[in-house]
Structure 1
């Protein structure tokens, strides 16, 4: 593809010029480097944090930190001073009495919905169509635990409303779910989320209907600043159980935490953890790095959210004149205004081949990597087979919908692409002008000639 960019002062052909990664890799660094970071933290958590953050920032955030009170010990099958200290710290931060470390979020959430269903003598669960348990876990809820799910909401592109939840909790008792799961924010929707007052009303509806309310808080750390004036505990108080990830925005090695104030519920969680093979003989390597990542990143997400807002605004300003043949913007964000440090960026009106060539040319010419890869955007068809369950009964267009979906996957001319990304420590300091420059150069190449 011919470049429209001149070979003047803006061009940097020197191969030694570092490439600016606008979308950094998750877990940047080699395994050896990452293990060295973990080891340094394990030897002296405070010294490590002071070195990484600086004395002043350390003091400012120290009230949020989980700092071991003694030398870090090795846990054994769930017991250990350090493990229990970290579990209790996360639970307390969320306003809950108990916490339990899980090696995966899938295990933590399947355990949660299973217990809620067993205690109610009811195997029905309810969540949004784009829930993680629905789209990313190979239907484990049904295949492993034989649970029946109902979808909440009338749109696959919006989070459920209070009225949507009311419709579920108002069902006859023998049709009502035992538990409603809300993902806050919803990753698959670009991190769209709920107004706090809606969460309050949803919580009241569930309590009145004797339906448990569970929070998929995989990105709760990231979304908390959106609820200005509300703490983690204020949000979590509306839910009977809360799961949080320890490796996504926090950058830990792997793992999750399940929290609740119900002691019997947590005892059952430990039993199910063992049944599912999750009660490890020792989890200290993951726990140490998770605590390290937590301490490094907790308290940073307001700044990262504000940075994402300014970056998105700068990119939209720089690319607003570039349009598809039918007049649509080539670049747009979903949601339009970021709710947190993570978002979806869409690119339309260009084939993947031309887009890839343009990306590579920007990297070569300007030493700016705009993005690593994209996924084809497939409009979520409300006539998909599973979506019919929202309205009840069978869908006469199931076969047609499946065929359309398969065709979309195979269509090499798909001209709508997207990717998700977030502001991390690695790209936080990149100037908005650099983001704008990279994206404008990309759009110039996309729209240049045949």
Structure 2
């Protein structure tokens, strides 16, 4: 007896076989590394336990980009951010920090901050909105550090306005509260703010960036701040087992794709606004935010996950356009998915994209 395929199986197969995909930079396969190292001299020496030309030159480059005294490359952002908060808590001799209820540290790291560092969080703001100055000013408990995520991924990539950031930064400095930036997607929000990375990072005492999201590297993160702060982070990096004998595949790919993509962030932002408009013209579909403030947003649908997959699978087969490969339940009768634009969107023929959305609207109306 042959295998019985589920709606999700059929949906995923149709997505993979589509001629064009709208999200991201492309498949995360070995070609990502091959392209990054193709023109490099094979005699280039690797880094060794956090030292060497490969890692030190990249760290110096990132420190300059972010406008900080120094930077350290980490194998993961989870490691980097927990270490940043630990350093600030030790400095203040206080084991309390504050961040958004949907912060990555709170919902995706198996309570690592609490279990490994015994640091307890205070959750700021409602889950559906970004942190405001009032939220910060109304903290009743004493905190060592506040973490702000720009953009706030779990609520569609929403952002506080820049003036609010300046106010929060000034308030924290007045009160002696350290301010840490979860800037996993920092470069993606700069076109909206119309600011440089240095200008945004100047508002924060420490900064984390991802090198595999919008930048498009294989994996890894950068933590930046004062030289005293980064030297302490190196000690904690060793304690966490983050000093692998060599990290050069991650570093070389990060450096290569940073140069490839950093000047395209405004393009991705403008394309995200265009794509969101296509979605918002479809019956029963809205985006959050309605007008994106970065290259990412969430799509909310008035249809269950299985029903939406049943709509999208034949749409992909008919049009050759793969809109998303992941739909999730969102409430009892709704579903949603995340959009994050990179190089692939500009390769989709506009006439075929418009045709796909016209058909999607028809299918949504005829449910």
Aligned to 2:8: none
Query: Contact 2:75–2:219 (CA<8 Å) still a contact in 1?
Result: yes
Aligned to 1:434: 352
Query: What is the deviation of 1:111?
Result: 0.2
Query: What is the deviation of 1:433?
Result: 4.4
Aligned to 2:199: 234
CA deviation profile, 1:78-121 (whole Å, cap 9, x unmatched): 11112111101111111101000000000000000001001110
Question: Which of 301, 305, 315 is the matching residue for 2:279?
Answer: 315
Aligned to 1:389: none
Q: Distance between the aligned counterparts of 1:301 and 1:332, measured in 2?
A: 24
Aligned to 1:90: 62
Question: Which of 224, 230, 243 is the matching residue for 2:190?
Answer: 224
Q: Distance between the aligned counterparts of 1:37 and 1:272, measured in 2?
A: 33
Aligned to 2:340: 422
Alignment size in residue pairs: 352
Query: What is the deviation of 1:279?
Result: 1.0
Q: Distance between the aligned counterparts of 1:200 and 1:221, measured in 2?
A: 18
Partner secondary structure for residue 428 of structure 1: helix
Closer/same/farther in 2, CA of residues 415 and 41 from structure 1, 3 Å limit? farther
Q: Distance between the aligned counterparts of 1:337 and 1:206, measured in 2?
A: 30
In structure 1, runs of 5+ residues without a counterpart are 1-14, 45-70, 323-329, 379-413
Query: What is the deviation of 1:239?
Result: 0.2
Partner secondary structure for residue 250 of structure 1: coil
Query: Contact 2:319–2:352 (CA<8 Å) still a contact in 1?
Result: no
Task: Determine whether 1:131 maps to 2:97.
Answer: no
Aligned to 1:9: none
Q: Distance between the aligned counterparts of 1:28 and 1:194, measured in 2?
A: 32
Aligned to 1:164: 135
Query: Contact 1:354–1:446 (CA<8 Å) still a contact in 2?
Result: no
Kindly indicate whether structure 1 or structure 2 has the higher relative contact order, using CA contacts under 8 Å at least 6 residues apart: 2
CA deviation profile, 1:368-402 (whole Å, cap 9, x unmatched): 22321211114xxxxxxxxxxxxxxxxxxxxxxxx
Q: Distance between the aligned counterparts of 1:237 and 1:30, measured in 2?
A: 36
Task: Determine whether 1:176 maps to 2:130.
Answer: no
Q: Distance between the aligned counterparts of 1:42 and 1:27, measured in 2?
A: 22
Aligned to 1:299: 263
Aligned-pair Cα RMSD in Å: 1.9
Closer/same/farther in 2, CA of residues 27 and 307 from structure 1, 3 Å limit? closer
Aligned to 1:144: 116
Query: Contact 1:222–1:340 (CA<8 Å) still a contact in 2?
Result: yes
Question: Which of 326, 335, 339 is the matching residue for 2:289?
Answer: 335
Aligned to 1:28: 27
Partner secondary structure for residue 130 of structure 1: coil
Partner secondary structure for residue 366 of structure 2: coil
Query: What is the deviation of 1:219?
Result: 0.2
TM-score, normalised to structure 1's length? 0.75
Q: Distance between the aligned counterparts of 1:112 and 1:30, measured in 2?
A: 31
Question: Which of 214, 231, 238 is the matching residue for 1:267?
Answer: 231
In structure 2, runs of 5+ residues without a counterpart are 1-13
Partner secondary structure for residue 144 of structure 1: helix
Over 6 Å off, 4+ runs: none
Structure exhibiting the larger radius of gyration computed from Cα positions: 1
Closer/same/farther in 2, CA of residues 72 and 166 from structure 1, 3 Å limit? farther
Q: Distance between the aligned counterparts of 1:310 and 1:370, measured in 2?
A: 14
> Which residues in structure 2 correspond to 1:69-84 (within 5 Å)?
72-84=44-56
Closer/same/farther in 2, CA of residues 125 and 363 from structure 1, 3 Å limit? same
> Which residues in structure 2 correspond to 1:27-106 (within 5 Å)?
27-28=26-27, 30-31=29-30, 33-43=31-41, 72-106=44-78
Aligned to 1:190: 156
Which deviates more from structure 2 when the two are superposed, residues 440-449 or residues 187-196? Answer: 440-449
CA deviation profile, 1:132-185 (whole Å, cap 9, x unmatched): 1011111111111111110112x21110111111112xx4xxx31100000011
Query: Contact 1:315–1:435 (CA<8 Å) still a contact in 2?
Result: no
Query: Contact 1:308–1:341 (CA<8 Å) still a contact in 2?
Result: yes
Q: Distance between the aligned counterparts of 1:199 and 1:22, measured in 2?
A: 35
Q: Distance between the aligned counterparts of 2:360 and 2:333, measured in 1?
A: 15
Partner secondary structure for residue 333 of structure 1: strand
Q: Distance between the aligned counterparts of 1:145 and 1:429, measured in 2?
A: 46
Question: Which of 84, 104, 108 is the matching residue for 1:112?
Answer: 84
Q: Distance between the aligned counterparts of 1:29 and 1:107, measured in 2?
A: 22
